[in-house]
Structure 1
């Protein structure tokens, strides 16, 4: 299995490569530290699986996932992140990822995730599956599952404290469109103001 690792944290890259190098099923073909070179490295190495950090510099998160799905339909993409799994996992899968796993997971889980996506199956951690199994959790998460990929992108950026102008620049849309998305988010998540919207989003992540 040819693997390309796209991550800008040297310790994580070296650690993952070291942990998996003893397994003959995995063959690391290269690394990418900057989103500007992601496409050319995929074309160069032709990997079976791309391990993609969701916050790769000069990469547009789930927007990059959509681009990869369009350009490389046969490429398996396993998203890794140090952020809470719940919201990012859902948005990543919706945008075209084959799996999502937190960087804090064990070598055994990461290995299982790689094998799962290569077997044409979607990987989500048992942690997420268990939390979604409770009625209360289902009710809470269902609200977020009604959001479109773009609405989730806007919500994530709002939660990071970004203003309309910054969000518009990051997503390559105009500020009026950002305002429209914010209005939709208020309605869909049943809150009265942006502060409540951000609080609810962060609360869900904290309790994940």
Structure 2
């Protein structure tokens, strides 16, 4: 089962999401937190596969905090479940490294659809927002075209990064040193025309499920 932590400052939201997931028999809620003070403790203790979080909760909020969580817990995918305006927050959430932006106005069916998309390694956005993301990503050159120019080794490194592996893990798996892994990361950022690891991972996930 997919291990899930839910973080929201509204207990009724946490309990509602927990009940919905319990009925799927595919997701197991291993943690419920209501503020940032206990969130990291919970993530370190439970090592969840998925974190469902409101973008603003006490003691931790905003895109900077989101990026910090992604850097600190790379193997935990993050779904933003929020009341904030989708047209303003969705793209920024995905570009910061989230795997989904799900409005709290979504139906239970759409909510589960989003989580299932994440489970298979994809990214979930509502259709209109996703189209805008692809349009933005396609500036200058086709993103797919840039991806096709990567070497076999660069694609290997990118896939491992996308799966949450750290430099040390990648070096061990590919039998290269960590400095070489860093060099590959720099090349990938340049070739795919992104500015951060979070953006790099986002682009990779979008490519695989476009």
The bucket for the TM-score relative to the shorter chain is 0.5 to 0.7
Q: Number of residue pairs matched? A: 135
Moved beyond 6 Å, runs of 4+: none
Tell me whether 73-82 or 119-128 shows the greater mean CA deviation.
119-128
SS in 1 for 2:60: coil
Question: What is the CA–CA distance in structure 2 between the aligned matches of 1:61 and 1:31, rounded to whole Å?
Answer: 20
TM-score (ref. length: structure 1): 0.60
1:183-205 CA-partner distances (Å, limit 9, x unpaired)? xxxxxxxxxxxxxxxxxxxxxxx
SS in 2 for 1:37: helix
Question: What is the CA–CA distance in structure 1 between the aligned matches of 2:49 and 2:117, rounded to whole Å?
Answer: 13
CA RMSD of aligned residues (A): 1.9
TM-score (ref. length: structure 2): 0.60
1:103-157 CA-partner distances (Å, limit 9, x unpaired)? 1101111111111112111110235346x49xxxx79xx9xxxxxxxxxxxxxxx
Structure 1: where are the runs of 5+ without partners? Answer: 143-208
The reply on whether 1:26 has 2:27 as its aligned counterpart is yes
2:114 match: 113
**2:99 touches 2:124 (CA, 8 Å); kept in 1?**
yes
1:16-41 CA-partner distances (Å, limit 9, x unpaired)? 11222111101011111011221111
SS in 2 for 1:91: helix
Question: Shift in Å at residue 4 of structure 1?
Answer: 0.2
The reply on whether 1:75 has 2:76 as its aligned counterpart is yes
**2:50 touches 2:76 (CA, 8 Å); kept in 1?**
yes
